[in-house]
Amino acid sequence: MSQNLPNMLDNTIARLREMVNENSVVGEPIVTNDGVTIIPVSKVSVGFGGGGSDFVSKNLNHHENPFGGGVGAGVKVTPVAFLVIKDGNVRMIPVATPANTTVDRLVEMVPDTLDKIAAFVDSRTEKK
């Protein structure tokens, strides 16, 4: 069996380790001029896959079969929250996730729409 695939996997894992470390999840602290420390907190998602095969060589003098294969990986870092430290107090401020679907967007619009309808009804009532 060819050693190409294990080598490709090892190289890809080494690259992933270079890209993602403990600072990817809990970031480096940021200290402001007024003494507030802000620490970013993120979620890390990793996808990984690979495969390959040795092919039969048509050349009888060739002792090693040709190899074909590939490896791929992806990393996604999503901000989740910020830890804010001030005067010995720690607060966690979550990062709002954006609406991904039409239903999510509609649900987000409901309070604002209800406020507008109530204001319109109130203005019509005051005119009478």
Whole-model pTM: value is 0.52
Helix, strand and coil content of the chain, in percent to the nearest 5, comes to 35, 35, 25
Using CA atoms, how far apart are residues 55 and 82, in angstroms rounded to an integer?
Answer: 52
pLDDT, tens digit, 9 for 90 and up, residues 25-35: 888 899 999 98
**Of residues 14 and 37, which shows the higher confidence score?**
37
What SS3 state is found at 61? coil
For the ranges 54-63, 105-114, 116-125, which has the lowest average pLDDT? 54-63
Using CA atoms, how far apart are residues 5 and 121, in angstroms rounded to an integer?
Answer: 69
Residues 6+ apart with CB under 8 A from 83: 37, 38, 39, 41, 90, 91, 92
Identify the pLDDT of residue 1. Answer: 47
User: Across the chain, what does the average pLDDT equal?
Assistant: 79
CA atoms within 13 A of residue 83's CA, in its CB half-sphere: 15
